[in-house]
Structure 1
């Protein structure tokens, strides 16, 4: 690693801490009680980027792969703006936990957490499993999706680098003309390859936010404002 690369890495780490601290303060203004922020959760600054997109560009129909704290915060925003999030989760116990939290905060009207077990997928790369395609297709069949958040399935193990690739192809027929898509963990080579594939296939222009949770934001069509 060159001196310049080391300096850039240190700067990104410093900026990440600063951005997360600032984002955590802003998130606290939403009035939600404490929620467990696991290692798998979107970082506060990344979540803030997603919420900014929903708020600024009036995204109303969100599909999420990998549920958790982000599902609850997005539902809180949609409770005011109108709209709904459909979140797919492979872990049945975790799906129930998130559903119970949504109910406790009176947010069930604005969010659905759907258990979609992992299984074979005709759209996957390298034979990797993905969320049950039939479950996903049934849940989105009447939607016009204008925002997609991809933070699952887990893709950190060797050989699973492209596990998240099917997310856009699986709901292609249900995407609105104008939509935003977010992919987490873009510091990893697998996610970077997914971005390249999606950019070519869907004519989506991606902007990386390495100092805001290693998140990428892609836009297809028109976004009236930047985040």
Structure 2
């Protein structure tokens, strides 16, 4: 085997081993976080953990952020497991906080709303049904994003100190920048001190969004949690990360 072939073989196997280590690390983070989440899961209706949901480590980070850094106004794009667990946390811990959750899938929104109703959690959550419509952006062209009028008519001039971007779908080449408008279209509704979270930070589209936003906002602190959750915050505050190596 030539030196060049050996080098290519070494690089290929090194990359494979690094990927395996990253996957093992993520699984360990999620297993640990599931144990932390148990008080919000035991003796309560089963919640659907599926591939589209935020990872347990990301949900735990969010719940810690709400408590540790005293987040009061939460704006979420993409309703689901995180919505329900945040609401359970707010109720159980008697926290003065409110969640506005934006969802484009009418059937899924109805399911989440039904869960919230059965657990008497609707006073903590407002589900905003907003269809996907074409919206122009400054840097990524026209994208399909939530109907801005539907969102604005509900949130009005509210200021949010925790923004969670886990929607709309952005998992193919054609729609990979679909989550960018959350950073631009509603920036006037961000509080002076805010934490903005972007899920799936390991994907190419999200990486481009992160790069663009960081270049425009160099004063904002940036970090990544367990390879997949991008965190932007205006102040360092207390670190809510559930596990740190």
Query: TM > 0.5 between the two?
Result: yes
Which residue is equivalent to 2:215? 200
**Matches for 1:40-189 after TM superposition, within 5 Å:** 40-79=52-91, 80-123=94-137, 125-189=140-204
CA distance in 2 between counterparts of 1:132 and 1:164 reads 13
CA distance in 2 between counterparts of 1:210 and 1:150 reads 16
Cα deviation 1:45-94 (Å, max 9, x = unaligned) = 11111111111100110000010010011112222211111000000111
Of the structure 1 ranges 185-194 and 2-11, higher mean CA displacement relative to structure 2 is found in: 2-11
Contact 1:187 1:210 in 2 (8 A): no
Residue 102 of structure 1, CA deviation: 0.7
CA distance in 1 between counterparts of 2:190 and 2:153 reads 14
Structure-1-length-normalised TM-score? 0.93
State whether structure 2 residue 54 is matched by structure 1 residue 20: no
Contact 1:67 1:88 in 2 (8 A): yes
Contact 1:23 1:48 in 2 (8 A): yes
- What is the total number of aligned residue pairs between the two structures? 224
Structure-2-length-normalised TM-score? 0.86
Contact 2:136 2:143 in 1 (8 A): no
Of the structure 1 ranges 20-29 and 202-211, higher mean CA displacement relative to structure 2 is found in: 202-211
CA distance in 1 between counterparts of 2:69 and 2:13 reads 40
Residue 123 of structure 1, CA deviation: 2.9
Residue 5 of structure 1, CA deviation: 3.0
Cα deviation 1:2-22 (Å, max 9, x = unaligned) = 444333222111111111111
For structure 1, the 5+ residue unaligned runs are none
Q: RMSD of the TM alignment (CA)? A: 1.6
Larger Rg: 2
Contact 2:137 2:143 in 1 (8 A): no
